[in-house]
Chains A and B, each alone.
Chain A
């Protein structure tokens, strides 16, 4: 077992059998006992458990996977999917926000603009990156980069992964609401294809702030929600511990959002989540981006804007006679 493996509560049965297999292997090596038949049967058991557990994930369990400490973040995908990435910094107004990263890079041989929220891998980096919760400067930097992409006619690819926009005194003073609102408005009229991929947490307005795109896709275990399940549970039942029920009620999984017509595609993850095999996950994302660029690359600016307008215009359900 790799030293950095972290098992979630519901994965414990899998971890237990995997531990047994490891012990048997160690025994085999140390004492030259043949344990191979037991190992084979235990490996079959692991597979069966994985299919059972990962094949029936509850929304709350998916959230746990989306927040898994080993989950690949934006920069992991930048490394796996693009080359010649040059990170650009700052909103030219106040500061650089490390919770939002971005810059141009090549996707295959095509220049694109990458934008995404970025979480930290350890405590130190998480403090720097504010746990992936952007300040207003993050949204303003993102828009600055989108306008550069607009100028040079290169597509924009946004990796969405945030618990939400940061709720702080400075963020309020510097217009967190305005920063997000302005992005929603301006993204409508970008003259280049724009793609949003929710790779982990799609935390409300903080996620949407870079999410008004021609297409929205989600990784299989990502979630996208108007409010955190903990927050919803606190309001609904005055009990944040009821977050699993709230997660169910809010319909926040990729599959739900596809059915609601909010997203265009669910991108498959390896069994057990994106972190189990980053290369596989990246390959799936690569295919999705290629398809998107093929489909939208030839549209005129007018068609791109119209498509975007109509896409969001028809969202919502109500009755009318």
Chain B
């Protein structure tokens, strides 16, 4: 790491063998959670999992996000060998991890480098399926490495958040990931590297109170639930009903906490334009082309 010399003192253990990904057969139709319209799955996919009638944004997996955001075949995943462990011997946590690993959800954050209309970026996408996208040591580490990768290679960083906050099961170590990631973001800002934070439904608590709030530009998908404290906690504290639309993207935009609410179907173009505007003077956009020879194979495994 050229901008900072550091000693690495991670806990290193042997990973378990992971089974091949199993495709779960799905029905042909999906009902929109918002307007109840029945949508043909193929149409839903063509429309990037947005309801064509009411614009409702379905939750999507990081693999889909990669396909919707990056140029075909440009994604090169990193840090895929990292796995969560149970440092505190917390009740039922190891069992939970094992179950999720058996479902091939071991990545927790899908991160790596890829291109947006030709512009290389370091990207990290949280996976809500792993304990509500909560941030434990692994998530903090992968996000930090994605940020450091942006600094090292002098390419912009994009992080998609989808999370309920810090992961209780790793106790204080989860809290410290907020500090770790935010310190990395500070170094990135000092180096003039652009960082765009994209908030998707939901983005709350410890992640919002760290890297998700620290983008040069912070954008959100429509109607995403975003906040520091959970609505129920607030209600219990103040003993009052909450105002309509409270803690939704549009509410945050109105209160000055967001730069923009962006429809998923416009996301790639918006990111591309921002990167074009911000990356020219400080980034090294030709840098990763040499390291991209094996991208096609890897991408085939990841994005199908």
Contact = CB atoms under 8 A, between A and B. Distances in A.
A259 B247 CA distance: 38
Contacts of B186: 185-186, 188-189
Contacts, number: 220
A189 B205 CA distance: 24
Contacts of A262: 172-173, 176
B303 interface: no
A309 B5 CA distance: 10
A168 B81 contact: no
Contacts of A312: 176, 179-180, 183
Given A317-B137, A320-B12, A171 B229 contact: yes
B210 interface: yes
B10 A167 contact: no
Q: How large is the interface on A (under 10, 10 to 19, 20 to 34, 35 or more residues)?
A: 35 or more
Interface in A303-319: 306, 308-310, 312-319
Given A177-B213, A185-B186, A251-B88, A226 B206 contact: yes
B174 A314 contact: no
B168 A235 contact: yes
A251 B228 CA distance: 24
A238 interface: no
Nearest to B243: A169
Contact of B229 (A176, A235, A251): A176
Contact of B14 (A177, A204, A313, A321): A321
Interface in B157-182: 166-168, 170-180, 182
A236 interface: yes
A167 B229 contact: yes
A224 B172 contact: yes
Contacts of A256: 172
B94 interface: no
B185 interface: yes
Which of A167, A256, A317 has most B Cβ within 10 Å?
Answer: A317
A175 interface: yes
Contacts of B246: 169, 172
Interface string B112-146: 00000000000000000000000011101100100
Contact of A185 (B5, B182, B247): B182
A310 B7 contact: yes
A181 B168 contact: no
A273 B295 CA distance: 60
Contact of A181 (B6, B10, B214, B238): B214
Given A249-B88, A310-B7, A181 B182 contact: yes
Contacts of A320: 10, 12-13, 15, 81-83
B238 A169 contact: yes
A152 to B, nearest CB: 21
Given A171-B229, A205-B178, A321 B168 contact: no
Contacts of B178: 181, 184, 205, 208
Contacts of A182: 213-214
Given A175-B213, A175-B257, 18 more contacts: A169-B243, A172-B229, A177-B213, A181-B213, A182-B213, A212-B179, A224-B172, A308-B183, A312-B180, A312-B183, A313-B180, A314-B7, A315-B140, A315-B173, A316-B141, A317-B170, A318-B11, A320-B82
Interface of B: 4-15, 81-85, 87-88, 90-91, 136-138, 140-141, 144, 166-168, 170-180, 182-187, 189-190, 205-206, 208-214, 227-230, 233-234, 237-238, 240, 242-243, 246-247, 255-257
| Minimum-distance CB pairs A-B, first 5 | A316-B137, A167-B229, A184-B182, A319-B13, A177-B208
Interface of A: 165-169, 171-178, 180-182, 184-186, 188-189, 204-205, 208-209, 211-212, 224-227, 232, 235-236, 249-252, 256-257, 260, 262, 306, 308-310, 312-321
